[in-house]
Amino acid sequence: MTSYETPTNNLVGPLLTDLYQITMTYAHWKNKRHEEHSVFELFFRKNPFKGSFTLFCGLDEVVKHLHAFKFSQEDIDYLKSTPSLQHCDPGFFDYLLQLDCSKTQIQALPQGSLAFPRVPLVIVSGPLGVGQLLETTLLTLINYPSLLATNAARMVLRAHDHDNHRPQSADLPRQCQKQILCAEFGLRRAQGPDGGFSASKYAFVGLFAATSNVKAGKELGIPIVGTHAHAFVQSYLSLDEVQELTVANKNSGGQVNLLEKVLEYRDNKNGANLGEDFQKTNDGELAAFIAYACAFPDSFLCLVDTYDTVKSGLLNFCMVSLVLGDLGYTPKGIRLDSGDLAALSMACAHKFAELAKSQNRPFFHDLDIVASNDINEKTLVKLNQQGHAITLYGIGTNLVTCQAQPALGCVYKLVELNGKPRLKLSQEIAKVLIPGRKRAYRLFGKKEAPLLDLMVDADKDDPPEAGKPVLCRNPFQAMDRVMVTPSRVTLLHGVYFDGGKEALESVGSLQENRNLVKEQLGGVAGMGILDYEEPKQYPVMVSDNLYNFLHTMWQEQLPVPELS
Ligand SMILES: Nc1ncnc2c1ncn2[C@@H]1O[C@H](COP(=O)(O)OP(=O)(O)OP(=O)(O)O)[C@@H](O)[C@H]1O
Ligand SMILES: O=P(O)(O)OC[C@H]1O[C@H](OP(=O)(O)OP(=O)(O)O)[C@H](O)[C@@H]1O
Ligand SMILES: O=C(O)c1cccnc1
Ligand SMILES: [Mg+2]
């Protein structure tokens, strides 16, 4: 027998749900409907962040939940004791106790897929009793991961937009030309440990390069990165505190007193001629950098904004870096955590370019400039407009809390029972449900770019085929229709859980999910869908059959108002 992983968070189980799922399931059981065959769809109605795309995530934990789904005797004892359920027939609790997902199937988009409104992310088929019980748990396992991965990818896209704004100038510092990376720094600001860990995980799928979360590194294999905090700088007050510190000379092997070498630069005893500014920097900060260099001579990166970025931090960093360079080490860079990040990053990069030249130290060209401090998508756009030399963003609060839109509104709706489609009407057109069991396809055009997603009736429609024209309709607007002859067609959903038996598809590794994100975002690049300002909407359409079916059912079920 294959053993499956259990959910990452051990709060996940059949009780991690809303009471009304259990009361509805009791009513179904009581009325002998719990075994009827149901189909539920989980989807969202509107892309988050005023955007035109969403990345689907959370499927890995959904599959684990279905494999592990089982009420314990303690769960049942608790349910029996609650005022809402204590009157229930004892047979119901026997039913719950033996319940599992052996008759349930999950079809879904692959994790990391580009997803659009109304196309189901997940389709749950099987006994009504179980299908209903899964609603809230599946929503909580999908809403935040998908929102977070989308937020992450949007930030990475904005960071990369810098390529389009880069000024064309021959003497531009080398940092301005580097590929920009994003690292997730949000654990301390996240909504608790689960929010923090999930953010690290799904930000990686959403193209963040690394995380500062060590647990996520260990458990998930995500690259971990880190600099140091202000506290480290604050902990030193004077150069006396680092008088004895030595570092091995990488070339000769002998120990070298760092402070002595640094002072040779500062006081111009070695003829480097750095300038008077270097003599006026903060001593405590210089001591801290020397101490940090002793600990990390091979990966020396300093937070430079504790006192004054340009007048102190930058210069202190440069002096220690020059010494490390003399000893055979390659310093790594600086972090900016306040002030005007565009202007400061440029000032630092220009200083690096100047020293690379005047001191003949090419490593200055390759130093990283890390920027953090409340960065969000809008800040990234503004930084691009101004021009900057940041090579790595550390993003916490706005990424993990999804401050720009704190929830994705995925819903879970019954679309079919016992082979009969179910409809839900609403005054609000956006809330009208497209009834029945459907199949969804992505139709590609001549240039291999996706044209639209098409939902068809699973029973009545033939699948669309490459080279064959198909009528595609806006489900709610009669006049909005197009004839499409796709160059390629892909079926969007695969079977990821089949009653606990070996399913057809596996969710794959986070790296594979991330590769899919890269591939799918690359596939729509240049179509306007990923734009920040007024992004182009991607069409989601239905077959003629499905359109007619929706509107016939609509007319049958909605009473005609009387005019008197
Ligand atoms: N050049 C820039 N253009 C637009 N926004 C920027 C720029 N530089 C920084 N920001 C953003 O502006 C906000 C304010 O930065 P600032 O350093 O003034 O914040 P602060 O809260 O006063 O600093 P501190 O963190 O030291 O308290 C931050 O969210 C930062 O990301
Ligand atoms: O700004 P975020 O996107 O959330 O990124 C994470 C922040 O966490 C650290 O701040 P810290 O806890 O030291 O507080 P402070 O810098 O705001 O004073 C770090 O210096 C970043 O500023
Ligand atoms: O390593 C860092 O610089 C870091 C990590 C978490 C939060 N802020 C900064
Ligand atoms: Mg900070």
SS (H, E, C) 24-43: HHHHHHHCCCCCCEEEEEEE
Identify whether 195 is part of a domain.
Answer: yes
Calpha distance 157→161 (Å, rounded): 6
Other CB atoms closer than 10 Å to residue 238's CB: what's the count? 11
Identify whether 391 is part of a domain.
Answer: yes
Rg of the chain (C-alpha set): 29
Which residues does residue 542 pair with via DSSP β-bridges, in sequence order? 455, 473
Residues with CB under 6 A from ligand 3: 185, 212, 226-227, 335, 372, 394, 396
Whose CA is closest to atom 23 on ligand 1?
338
Predicted confidence band at 208 (pLDDT cuts at 50, 70, 90)? very high
Calpha distance 140→121 (Å, rounded): 13
Q: What percent of the chain has pLDDT over 90?
A: 92
Question: What letter would DSSP give residue 209?
Answer: -
Number of DSSP helices (H) and strands (E) in the chain, helices first:
17, 22
Calpha distance 293→256 (Å, rounded): 12
Tokens 């949007």 label which residue?
Answer: 154
Calpha distance 22→76 (Å, rounded): 11
Whose CA is closest to atom 10 on ligand 2?
373
Q: How many CA atoms lie less than 13 Å away from 535 in the CB half-sphere?
A: 20
Identify whether 78 is part of a domain.
Answer: no
Check if the beta carbon of residue 443 is closer than 8 Å to that of residue 451: yes
Check if the beta carbon of residue 414 is closer than 8 Å to that of residue 421: no
Report which of residues 554 and 332 the model is more confident about. 332
Identify whether 339 is part of a domain.
Answer: yes
How confident is the model over 495-513, as a mean pLDDT?
A: 94
Separation of 191 CA from ligand 3 center, angstroms? 17
Tokens 């506290």 label which residue?
Answer: 231
Other CB atoms closer than 10 Å to residue 530's CB: what's the count? 20
Calpha distance 157→182 (Å, rounded): 10
How confident is the model over 431-451, as a mean pLDDT?
A: 93
pLDDT in the model for residue 258:
98
pLDDT in the model for residue 448:
86
- Backbone φ, ψ for residue 428 (5° rounding): -90, 120
pLDDT in the model for residue 187:
98
Whose CA is closest to atom 21 on ligand 1?
338
Mean confidence (pLDDT) of the chain: 96
Residue of 372, 373, 375, 393 to test ligand 3 pocket, by largest number of atoms within 8 Å of CB: 372
- For residue 234, pLDDT over 90 is answered with yes
pLDDT in the model for residue 499:
95
Helix, strand, coil percentages (3-state) for the chain, rounded to 5, are 40, 15, 45
Ligand nearest to the CA of 373: 2
pLDDT, tens only, 320-341: 999 999 999 999 999 999 999 9
Whose CA is closest to atom 11 on ligand 1?
379
Ligand nearest to the CA of 226: 3
Q: How far out from the chain centre does Cα 197 lie? A: 12
Calpha distance 344→554 (Å, rounded): 60
pLDDT, tens only, 269-310: 999 999 999 999 999 999 999 999 999 999 999 999 999 999
pLDDT, tens only, 80-124: 999 999 999 999 999 999 999 999 999 999 999 999 999 999 999
- For residue 1, pLDDT over 60 is answered with no
Whose CA is closest to atom 1 on ligand 3?
226
Atom of ligand 1 nearest to the CA of 342: 1
Whose CA is closest to atom 12 on ligand 2?
188
Which residues constitute the domain of residue 285? 152-400
Which residues does residue 394 pair with via DSSP β-bridges, in sequence order? 183
- For residue 2, pLDDT over 70 is answered with no
Tokens 């937009």 label which residue?
Answer: 161
Separation of 230 CA from ligand 2 center, angstroms? 10
How confident is the model over 237-256, as a mean pLDDT?
A: 97
Calpha distance 303→227 (Å, rounded): 7
CA nearest neighbour of 221 among 514, 496, 11, 4: 514
Atom of ligand 3 nearest to the CA of 226: 1
Separation of 234 CA from ligand 1 center, angstroms? 21
CATH number of the domain encompassing residue 209: 3.20.20.70
- Backbone φ, ψ for residue 542 (5° rounding): -125, 160
Q: In Å, how far are 80, 144, 400, 436, 443 from 151, measured between CA atoms?
A: 42, 10, 9, 32, 26
Residue of 185, 200, 296, 369 to test ligand 3 pocket, by largest number of atoms within 8 Å of CB: 185
Check if the beta carbon of residue 294 is closer than 8 Å to that of residue 307: no
Other CB atoms closer than 10 Å to residue 80's CB: what's the count? 14
Query: 39, exposed or middle or buried, with CB in 10 Å at 0-12, 13-18, 19+?
Result: buried
Calpha distance 488→119 (Å, rounded): 19
- For residue 169, pLDDT over 80 is answered with no
Q: Please count the structural domains in the chain.
A: 1
Identify whether 130 is part of a domain.
Answer: no
Q: How far out from the chain centre does Cα 260 lie? A: 47
Whose CA is closest to atom 9 on ligand 3?
185
ipTM summary value: 0.96
Predicted confidence band at 167 (pLDDT cuts at 50, 70, 90)? low
Separation of 243 CA from ligand 3 center, angstroms? 28
Calpha distance 532→381 (Å, rounded): 8
pLDDT, tens only, 211-233: 999 999 999 999 999 999 999 99
Separation of 214 CA from ligand 4 center, angstroms? 18
Identify whether 365 is part of a domain.
Answer: yes
Q: Which residue type does 122 have?
A: V
Q: Are strands 333-336 and 114-115 parallel, antiparallel or unpaired?
A: unpaired
Confirm or reject: Cβ of 339 under 6 Å from ligand 1: yes
Residues with CB under 6 A from ligand 2: 185, 188-189, 229, 337, 372-375, 394-398
Instruction: Give the end-to-end CA distance of the chain in Å, rounded to a whole number.
Output: 69
Whose CA is closest to atom 20 on ligand 1?
338
Atom of ligand 2 nearest to the CA of 395: 3
Tokens 């294999």 label which residue?
Answer: 221
**Nearest-10 Cα torsion for 305, 308, 310, 313:** -60
Predicted confidence band at 480 (pLDDT cuts at 50, 70, 90)? very high
Separation of 206 CA from ligand 3 center, angstroms? 19
Confirm or reject: Cβ of 437 under 6 Å from ligand 1: no
- For residue 537, pLDDT over 70 is answered with yes
pLDDT in the model for residue 166:
72
Whose CA is closest to atom 5 on ligand 3?
185
Q: Which residues surround ligand 4, an ion (CB under 5 A)?
A: 337
pLDDT in the model for residue 324:
98
pLDDT in the model for residue 278:
98
pLDDT in the model for residue 500:
85
Identify whether 269 is part of a domain.
Answer: yes
Separation of 193 CA from ligand 1 center, angstroms? 27
pTM of structure: 0.97
Identify whether 290 is part of a domain.
Answer: yes
